[in-house]
Amino acid sequence: MKLRHILYTAIVLLYCTSCNKWIDVKPTDRLSEDILFEKKEGFLKALNGVYVEMASTSLYGRFMTAGELDAMAQYYFITSSTNSYYDYVMFNYTNANPKFGFDDAWRKAYELNANVNVILEKTGASPSSVLPEPYFGLIRGEALALRAMLNFDMLRIFGPIWNDANKALKTIPYPIAAKSEIFPLLSSEEVMVQIERDLKEALTLLQNSDPILTEGVRNGNNPTGSSDLYYRQYRFNYFAVKALMARAALWKGDKTNALKYAKDIIEDAKIQGKDIFPAVTAGDATSTAKPDRMFSTEVIFSLYTIKRSDLYNAIFAAEQADFNRLSVNAMNDDKARINAMYPNQADYRYRIWESVNAQNKQILTNQKFKDVVDGPGRYMIPLIRLGEIYLIAAEASNDLGEATGLLNTLRRRRNTTDISPSDFSTLKTAITEEFRRELFGEGQLFFYYKRNAFLNIPNNASLVGEKSISLNNYRVPLPESEIKIRGGSQP
Amino acid sequence: MNKNYVLRVMRITVPLLWTGMLSVSAASYSQQITLKGKRIPFTKVIAAIRQQSGYTVFSTKNISELVPYLTVDAKQMDLSDFLKSITTEQPITYQIEDKIISFTKRRSSEVKATAENIAKDVQQKTVTGTVVNLLSGELMTGVTVRLKGYNISVMTDKNGQFSLSIPGDIQQAVLQFSFIGMKNLEVPLKGNTRINVTLEEQSESIKDVVVTGIYQRKKESFTGSSTTYTNKELKMIGNQNVLQSLKTLDPSFAMIDNNQFGSDPNRLPDLEIRGKSSVIGLTSEFGANPNQPLFILDGFESSLSVIRDFSMDRIESITILKDAAATAIYGSKAANGVIVVETKRPAAGQLRLSYNANTSLNFADLSDYNLMNSAEKLQFEKLSLFYGSLDPNGNIMNEEKELLFNNRMKEVAKGVNTYWPNEPLRTVLSQTHTLFAEGGDANLRYSASLSHGANKGIMKGSSRDVTNGNIRLLYRKGRLSFSNSLSIDHVATNREPVTFSRFVRANPYHRKYNTTGGIDKLMESFQYLDINTFTIKSLNIYNPLYDWNNTNVDKSSSLGFTNNFEIDWRIIDELRFRTRIGLRQLSDHGEVFRSPFNSEFADTEVLRQGYYSENNGKQINYDADVSLTYGKLLKEKHMVNFVGGIRVDQGYNLFSNYQVEGFVDDEFSNPTFGFRFPEGSRPGYREAKRRGASAFLNTGYTYDERYLLDATLRSDGSSVYGADKNFTTIWSVGLAWNLHKEQFIQHTLPWISLFKLRGSIGTPGNQNFNDYISMRIYRYNNDNRNPFGSSVIMNSFGNSGLKWQKTLDRNIGFDLELLHKRLRFNFDYFNKNTDPLLVFIGLPSSTGTSSVAKNIGSQTTKGLTLVTDYAFVQRENFNWHVNLNLRHITSGYHNIGNSLDKFNQDNKSRNLIRYYDNASPSDLWAVRSAGIDPATGREIFLNKNGQQTFLHDFNNEVVVGNSDPKVEGIIGTSFYYKGFSGAINLRYRLGGQEFMQTLYEKVENINIQNIALNQDKRALYDRWQKPGDIAKFRAISQTDVTPISSRFVEDNNILSGESISFGYETMDKKWLKKIGASSLTSRIYMNDIFRISTIKNERGIDYPFARSVSLSLGLRF
């Protein structure tokens, strides 16, 4: 009997906490979540990880901005089927290139979405000793906004055009849990509800914690320590959330709110009367040594990537091989297309075009993303800019005078002349043209066309003029990596 | 504590003791006393004894007072009889020790007994005595003393004394002494009323004991399914490694042929015991092969490579634990069975040496290769339209190409017919030498061994050299013993520079050497039209000999250090406490250098030619356990055993590597001559730690040696599994019935000497998984920085809810021995159900990952194994046996739904393995083929409804075969005659199909680039050429991709000469004495010497299989 007691004791001993500790092994060559989220710095690192990865080429580092999505917006003259972007321009979504490209973007977006979800799970619902204010509000607020943005952009690509008939169609999931469980496909309407909920919570959190509201963007290093609360232009700040709310409202045709949010930004983005996002100065816009082609001061939200020169080299540089290059002509110096695009060549935006000698010829090159050493916004990839907010407001306004005023404010900032559209239709055309000029290289034009369900868009196969587009082409089929496992085809 | 070493102790000490005893008794017999007289004073009697025997006699004054006078009548009486006669009826007793006789006062109880004796002299006598443990020399309590033939028994008291009344004739009475763990002893009384006996520990042969590494049981009282093989049996089959021998001996043990790497000495084999318990085909996702059994070396966990490299001559026995009752003590690591290796323990005695040499002559088995000769190859190229279209007369239309063809024809006419495959091959001698020394006394014993194996591969440049040194010490004092074993292993490997397949692929119409005798790098450059891009491309054919002769290095070395320490304390005879601590450290180093001149760099930019990589690893493993073992026979019929203990272990793994590229020369294979790290590469560094903790309890109960019950409970914790599921409980229950112990069998069927029915059920688990699959792991992003400092991103998602993979393992079986053990059967039927399976399932990418480890579905494996053996002749110096064993296994998936569909999609067009519910993991899935249309040369497929179609659609896939055989096993015979012995074991495999890789890759499916490489003869002879041809293979001119269909699946029946051996052993020959040896064993083997198969499929693609003829020699000094 005594013996049995010993054995029982031995077994009981095993369940003691020391044994549990013994087998709880943390890796030292990799970072486990338990160690990472022990400190506020870990949260900052994990959140920074999402921003850094967003700048990868499969997302906003190329695909979702200056690359494939702008190609789909027909900015370029592409007729050769060997061009890497040809199938995008022609909306051949089932061909190898777009199939792979969209799959890649989707996977990256949801990989980041999962990262964001873990951060949200770890922050909890209220500040803690590990994560006090303002960090709690900032980290949770930014994470929520990032989740909304990633899903909103996926909806804008893979979802249908918003209208009463389509908004109930099942389209994409909206995964909100950190565990790798499968979320059901939701309708556009349901997705928008989730996006708005996340954005609203983000806005509230940031209202109380975002230093942009008191200190401005502060694009410089903190002289006394870490720069966690600096460089607000490169973070999902309070105004960026509001801007995304405006974008989202207009997407679902809610002009009232779109106008309200947009005007809030235009009017409120000031500290003691000073603009937080001031207009580009004539000096910066026309400087030859360090031109601000990006109008970096006006950017509300952007990504910071030291690899931005890769973007320029990969798709715009005159040295790049023809089949990889995005060009507004047949790889020469023909300016017909841009001259049509910019009626006024004094427009600061026209300055991105330069003729460069390469491959033994003059090649017209888009230099918006060209690396300028020590130039303004050297590492910036703009995602939301004030110009778009003016255009959203103009589009959302029911008052022709107000709309024209908003449009002309933007045009003046760009060193071009006022216009006076006689009716809403002329205004719309003006806004469309302005949008095309203003958001070149930022991936928004395709969504603008899609939101407005345009049946005619610029023609890829001629330097000027338009081509018709089938509304089906605005919707990209869900990637195979999603539906193959889910089973069945797209609903 | 290990029985084997007890056995060894017995072997040495028992004879020693016996000789000692014999000499004593002989001496006493020679002493005779003659003395007669009444009332002789005791002192005078003593003086007489002293005088006549020459012995020293001690006595005290007390004695003389107790017995003042004696009446004696002895004439040439033996000393002992004389002493007995003078003490029997007196209150004194005596003792003889080393020629010293001492008289002492008899204790009161004895006096009383003596008095009673006198009283009951006529009707009944009482026998008294003591029982002593031979090894410890201590008196034994609780020993059963039984009068043979009567239901009379007593037990020894706490002083080891017993007293038993004997009815009837004391001259005829026989006493039986029994105690658990000790040898039963029968002592005829021959009229003596006082006997002192010594019991020795049971020295069953190894085969009668089941060694689990944690505890051991008598085979007869064990309910689990296990088999033990002795060194001798293992060496009867082969002398290269134990795994090879086990494969032949035990049908439940399978070694999966590696078709890719054949007999590469540096590839570890894939092993299975009783089929698979985990999802196969996903091995790359796991850290280790999830179907690999657990290896236990002298009680400590070991690895496949250590066991494979282990010198066979150091091994005492190997036990394979198969069912849950046997393996559950290893809990969550035991689902795939356990292989327990016991090494030889030192025996006491003078220093003795033994030497074993094993040599084997290996050569390649190329019988499955069926390559074209130069004329055939040229003809094939022409018909495949390699030289462009042919006119109706079969002539090449393009003039330029025709010229090329004709030039080649000229070469062929000149007799150029190069046979490439012999270039990298050799017939090679491998050797292993083992030197073993042992000795010591009853307290301290030692052994030292040194072995060196030089295994040379049949491909030139490949080798594996293994050196091992071991020192073992055993110290025993009373009830406490300590043992320590220290080993150092060194392994050095080299790999061949160019794969065998490149030589097989080389064209026979090319010459190896150019006109000056040198080797050209480029043999030929073809131009061809690429159909996909409509561009002319050139195809370069390089001489494999050129690369072969460059400086290429692929070597590795490892140094291992193992120290196992053990304390064993026999608290009381029934209870023993043991603790063990094991430490194993292994460091390895590997280098690969590829010459910049190699053809693989021909299209690489200059700065990136050549390659060097180095990797370094370190492993440190600790193991510690504490256990208590209790065993006692209660009331003669109830045998109980308990084993309980706890165990902790830790494994630490460190791995680092880097690469360098850009070499200009291959004079030195030194990284310092490289140019830079390859772009985008970074130094690798992996550190992994896994820990486990467990407690176990095993109880065994036997009633009257007839009804047996075994139960095991183990609680296991591991860091591998989810934070939420750190611990799991594993159990097993086994029952057995020894029918041969039943009266009704013993009386009615006396020709049954053993008949044991067994059954068991349990839930062993599996831990062969990646170290960190249960947690989220982040990585730093280094290449993109921003002002916010460092950034991290999730690298692996982990699954903290992961449950342990366990297998419900059920087994029934029987052991039967008939006709004086001439005919033996061992049968097992098992049913293993792994539920839930741990698999990596595909997820929709919106979850953020494409796959995650999940518990899903189940896998069942059912099967049976049978071993039979019949002795035609069974005499002392001559026996002849025939043996047969077989294995039949089927398995299937359940409830996996479409969760593994991702792998099904990936596998389509790659192989025939699919994961579907109720299908077997070894099923081969393909679209059925109705053959080749004689009119067009196109393939006709059958859809699911059996209708013919030209369209290949993966949706029409059905099961077209199964790669597992219906039955597989060994049929063999063996004999022994006066030191000569022989054994022939042939492997047979019946039923089951195989995917014909060769047909798929080298007969059909040859694209335009591959036409320039050599192919299988059937590509020329068996393919469709013109309308009307009834052919098995598609039109010869087709160069597009052929989808896999049932045409590429064929029945695979095999008979192979797995092991044939003859040996001679002798012990006491005069010539042996002359060289100072005491025994000799020698054996000659032929392994895998022939192979007959119903299919012709290339085996050993990158490294051929070997046949071997070996010799082993053992000398004991």
Q: Give me the mean pLDDT over the A20-44 stretch.
A: 80
pLDDT, one tens digit per residue, over B765-774 is: 877 666 567 7
With cut-offs at 50, 70 and 90, classify the pLDDT of residue B528.
Answer: confident
- Note which residues in 603-632 of chain B have CB less than 8 A from chain A: 626, 628, 630
- pLDDT at position B799 over 90: no
To 10 degrees, the CA torsion angle through B308, B310, B316, B322? -20
Answer yes or no: do A305 and B789 touch at CB < 8 A. Answer: no
- B1073, burial (CB in 10 Å: exposed 0-12, middle 13-18, buried 19+): exposed
Chain B residue with the nearest C-alpha to that of A227:
B788
What confidence score (pLDDT) does residue B666 get? 86
Answer yes or no: do A45 and B784 touch at CB < 8 A. Answer: no
Answer yes or no: do B688 and A27 touch at CB < 8 A. Answer: yes
Q: Which residues are within 8 A (CB) of A92 and not within 5 positions of it... i.e. 6 or more apart?
A: A86, A98
With cut-offs at 50, 70 and 90, classify the pLDDT of residue B10.
Answer: very low
- pLDDT at position B24 over 60: no
pLDDT, one tens digit per residue, over B218-238 is: 887 888 888 999 888 888 888
Query: Which residue of A4, A14, A55 is in closest CB contact with B695?
Result: A14
- Note which residues in 701-720 of chain B have CB less than 8 A from chain A: 715, 717-719
Q: Give me the mean pLDDT over the B317-340 stretch.
A: 87
What confidence score (pLDDT) does residue A71 get? 95
The rounded percent of chain A whose pLDDT value lies above 90 is 77
What confidence score (pLDDT) does residue B279 get? 67
pLDDT, one tens digit per residue, over A316-341 is: 999 888 888 999 998 899 999 999 99
DSSP tag of B345: P
Average pLDDT, chain B: 83
What confidence score (pLDDT) does residue B532 get? 62
- pLDDT at position B98 over 80: no
Does B640 lie at the interface with A, CB-CB under 8 angstroms? no
Distance from CA of A342 to the nearest CA of B (A): 35
- pLDDT at position B447 over 70: yes
What confidence score (pLDDT) does residue B105 get? 76
Does B785 lie at the interface with A, CB-CB under 8 angstroms? yes
pLDDT, one tens digit per residue, over B182-215 is: 777 778 887 778 888 877 766 556 677 788 888 8
Does B774 lie at the interface with A, CB-CB under 8 angstroms? no
Q: Give me the mean pLDDT over the B484-504 stretch.
A: 92
Task: Work out how many CB contacts closer than 8 A connect A with B.
Answer: 218
What confidence score (pLDDT) does residue A472 get? 93
Q: Which residues are within 8 A (CB) of B387 and not within 5 positions of it... i.e. 6 or more apart?
A: B381, B396, B398, B401, B402, B404, B405
What confidence score (pLDDT) does residue B9 get? 43
Chosen for mutation from A24, A25, A219 (greatest number of chain B CBs closer than 10 Å) is A25
ipTM here? 0.90
Q: Give me the mean pLDDT over the B1076-1087 stretch.
A: 86
pLDDT, one tens digit per residue, over B553-601 is: 999 999 999 999 999 998 887 888 999 999 999 999 999 999 999 998 9
Angle, CA A118 vertex, CA A116 and CA A120 arms, to 5°: 70
What confidence score (pLDDT) does residue B531 get? 63
Query: Which residue of A45, A111, A228 is in closest CB contact with B791?
Result: A45
Q: Give me the mean pLDDT over the A396-404 stretch.
A: 94
pLDDT, one tens digit per residue, over A404-445 is: 999 999 999 999 999 999 999 999 999 999 999 999 999 999
Q: Give me the mean pLDDT over the B968-997 stretch.
A: 91
Helix, strand, coil content of chain A in percent (nearest 5): 50, 10, 40
What confidence score (pLDDT) does residue B684 get? 87
Chain B residue with the nearest C-alpha to that of A174:
B846
Taking the C-alpha atoms of residue A362 and residue A356, their distance in angstroms, rounded to an integer, is 5
Answer yes or no: do B695 and A11 touch at CB < 8 A. Answer: yes
- pLDDT at position B842 over 80: no
Provide the 10 A C-beta neighbour count for residue B154. 14
- Note which residues in 787-806 of chain B have CB less than 8 A from chain A: 787-795, 797, 799, 801
Chain B residue with the nearest C-alpha to that of A51:
B791
Query: Which residue of A7, A110, A112 is in closest CB contact with B697?
Result: A7
With cut-offs at 50, 70 and 90, classify the pLDDT of residue B839.
Answer: confident
Q: With contact defined as beta carbons under 8 Å apart, do B671 and A2 qualify?
A: no
What confidence score (pLDDT) does residue B5 get? 47
Q: Give me the mean pLDDT over the B641-666 stretch.
A: 90
pLDDT, one tens digit per residue, over A127-166 is: 999 999 899 999 999 999 999 999 999 999 999 999 999 9
CA A335 to chain centre: 29
Q: Which residues are within 8 A (CB) of B1001 and not within 5 positions of it... i.e. 6 or more apart?
A: none
Nearest to B986 by CA among B1000, B998, B974, B1003: B974
pLDDT, one tens digit per residue, over B161-171 is: 888 887 777 77
> Of the ranges B66-70, B258-262, B979-983, which one carries the lowest mean pLDDT score?
B66-70
- pLDDT at position B832 over 80: yes
Chosen for mutation from B646, B731, B846 (greatest number of chain A CBs closer than 10 Å) is B846
B643 vs A8 pLDDT, higher one: B643
- pLDDT at position A491 over 50: no
Q: Which residue in the block uniquely carries the two structure tokens 């960090």?
A: A135
- Across the strands, what pairs with B469? B450, B488
Look up residue B887 and give its amino acid.
Answer: R
What confidence score (pLDDT) does residue B796 get? 82
Neighboring chain A residues of B780 at a CB cutoff of 8 Å: 31
Helix, strand, coil content of chain B in percent (nearest 5): 20, 50, 35
Chain A residue with the nearest C-alpha to that of B789:
A45
With cut-offs at 50, 70 and 90, classify the pLDDT of residue B1085.
Answer: very high
Taking the C-alpha atoms of residue B543 and residue B511, their distance in angstroms, rounded to an integer, is 9
Crossing angle (nearest 10°) for helices A424-438 and A400-413: 30
What confidence score (pLDDT) does residue A43 get? 95
B691 vs A25 pLDDT, higher one: B691
> Of the ranges A108-112, B150-154, B226-230, B758-762, which one carries the lowest mean pLDDT score?
B150-154
Angle, CA B57 vertex, CA B54 and CA B62 arms, to 5°: 160
CA B769 to chain centre: 21
Answer yes or no: do B793 and A19 touch at CB < 8 A. Answer: no
Average pLDDT, chain A: 90
Answer yes or no: do A23 and B781 touch at CB < 8 A. Answer: no
Distance from CA of B140 to the nearest CA of A (A): 21
Chosen for mutation from B788, B899, B915 (greatest number of chain A CBs closer than 10 Å) is B788
pLDDT, one tens digit per residue, over A40-83 is: 999 999 999 999 999 999 999 999 999 999 999 999 999 988 89
With cut-offs at 50, 70 and 90, classify the pLDDT of residue B121.
Answer: very low
> Of the ranges A390-394, B425-429, B1039-1043, which one carries the lowest mean pLDDT score?
B1039-1043
What confidence score (pLDDT) does residue B111 get? 46
- B1048, burial (CB in 10 Å: exposed 0-12, middle 13-18, buried 19+): buried
